[in-house]
Structure 1
Amino acid sequence: MVKFTDIKGFVFDLDGVITDTSRYHAQAWGQLATKLGVDYPNLGDAVKGISRMDALEMILQKGGLENNYTATEKEALATEKNTNYVQLIQNMSAKDILPGMAAFLADLKREGYGIALASASKNAPTILAKIGLQDYFTKTVDPATLQHGKPDPEIFIKGAQLLDLMPAQCIGLEDAAAGIAGINAAGETSVGIGDPQLLHAAAINFTDTSQVTLANIQQAMNG
């Protein structure tokens, strides 16, 4: 078992850990669904955590429209959704930082820990700038360089490499089961934020971000 004193760096997922953009994704998909004439109750929950093209297919199938568009036209619809989303996140600010995370990042920086971002979102730099946390994340995995998505460990291994650390020296923070699987496969200590039943594979569980502190992590690791 890795000891807390072995830890030198932290590798963060973005969405659901540092901030929550799910409502902006839901709004952007909602705008597209309305344009397509598709009524989709609880759309936000349905598309959470799945790829852009998979989400589009779900909406088209809901409206019986899956065969009405060519692959090229579907790509254009997905791009339109992303354009809507990028416009919406321009309104983000420090109020969108999840509880406790600004203080936690400040503690990590003050104590000299390495900090890296491991998000598949191409909009991550924009979001970090909007919420005022970009200075903490000078080490960010470029999603364009990835061959595999989570639960593959690639993004977390690259996060450790950016910090010049071995995976065993890093803690990874995630709110999704696929992300926890990726952290564990990378050989890092996993911290799951959310429902402990869904994130049961995490080495450490917190029900929400306000519980994520160095002291609480140290206590969990040292028993």
Structure 2
Amino acid sequence: MTYKACLFDLDGVLVDTAIYHFQAWKNLGTKFGYALTEEQNELLKGVSRVESLNRILTWANYSATEDQKSTWLIEKNENYLDLISNMNPSEILPGVLDFLNQIKQAGYKIALGSASKNAEIILSKTGLIEWFDLIIDGNKVTKSKPDPEVFLKGASGLGILPTECIVFEDAQAGVEAAKAGNMRAIGIGDVEMLRQADKVIPNFVGIQASELLQF
């Protein structure tokens, strides 16, 4: 198989904003007396803001009105934006820039496939935006991972078949989305958590694209 494009999730793959999401959700939890755990926060990776709130409310066994949900979603995002306002290139995860340079030099198209509605802000603040041919984020999709919509739109936007795409994901839902879209999935992180991926690497440090992308 000849691959032509690499599609990346954002949080936990290129930069680590999970800590900021965790803090913002924890802060919101004080509204209804709930303390989100780190383990639960892992289950929110790759999930939309609305679905994340619904999951937290379910865990808290709290019935919120639609007005409360709307207000809290705005508050959470404003808190999150405040937390990420000082992000800079130092927060790019180790090995990422070298890997992006390798695949760019090799002629791969590069796209983002993220549930985050703040993806462009983060990419701009960290200086990563210049690497991307296409950005598909939470503002351009209606379905959360594991639905493959975000990645299928990425492939379509690049003018490339799904089978010609390789997806890089750190979340189980993201890996499932890639496989549902008939794409190759490379997991970033723990092998046990990402067992459905075609291959798993701990991070991009020392990774040679020529070896990783040959199947």
Change (3 A) 1:201 1:103: same
The counterpart of 2:40, out of the listed 37, 46, 53, is 46
Letter in 2 for 1:45: E
1:95 deviates by: 1.4
Q: Residue 28 of structure 1: SS of its match in structure 2?
A: helix
Tell me, yes or no, if structure 1 residue 10 matches structure 2 residue 6. yes
Tell me, yes or no, if structure 1 residue 144 matches structure 2 residue 126. no
Which stretch shifts more, 78-87 or 23-32?
Answer: 23-32
Would the aligned equivalents of 2:99 and 2:204 in 1 still touch at CA under 8 Å?
A: no
Q: Residue 160 of structure 2: SS of its match in structure 1?
A: coil
Q: Structure 2 stretches of 5 or more lacking a match?
A: none
The counterpart of 2:74, out of the listed 74, 79, 85, is 79
Q: What TM-score results when the alignment is normalised by the length of structure 1?
A: 0.84
Would the aligned equivalents of 1:40 and 1:59 in 2 still touch at CA under 8 Å?
A: no
Tell me, yes or no, if structure 1 residue 97 matches structure 2 residue 89. no
Change (3 A) 1:195 1:142: closer
Residue in 2 aligned with 1:183? Answer: 178
- Name the structure with the higher helix share: 1
Structure 2 Cα separation of the partners of residues 45 and 51 of structure 1: 17
Tell me, yes or no, if structure 1 residue 200 matches structure 2 residue 195. yes
Structure 2 Cα separation of the partners of residues 156 and 112 of structure 1: 19
Identity %: 39
**Larger CA Rg, structure 1 vs 2:** 1
Aligned CA-pair RMSD: 2.3
Structure 2 Cα separation of the partners of residues 177 and 114 of structure 1: 24
Write the deviation string for residues 12-36 of structure 1: whole angstroms up to 9, x where unpaired: 11111111111001121232334x3
Residue in 1 aligned with 2:128? Answer: 133
Structure 2 Cα separation of the partners of residues 52 and 181 of structure 1: 19
Structure 2 Cα separation of the partners of residues 178 and 138 of structure 1: 24
Q: Residue 147 of structure 1: SS of its match in structure 2?
A: coil
Q: Structure 1 stretches of 5 or more lacking a match?
A: none
Write the deviation string for residues 54-108 of structure 1: whole angstroms up to 9, x where unpaired: 54456557777x24x5320221012101100011111111111111011111112
1:146 deviates by: 2.1
Structure 1 Cα separation of the partners of residues 166 and 179 of structure 2: 10
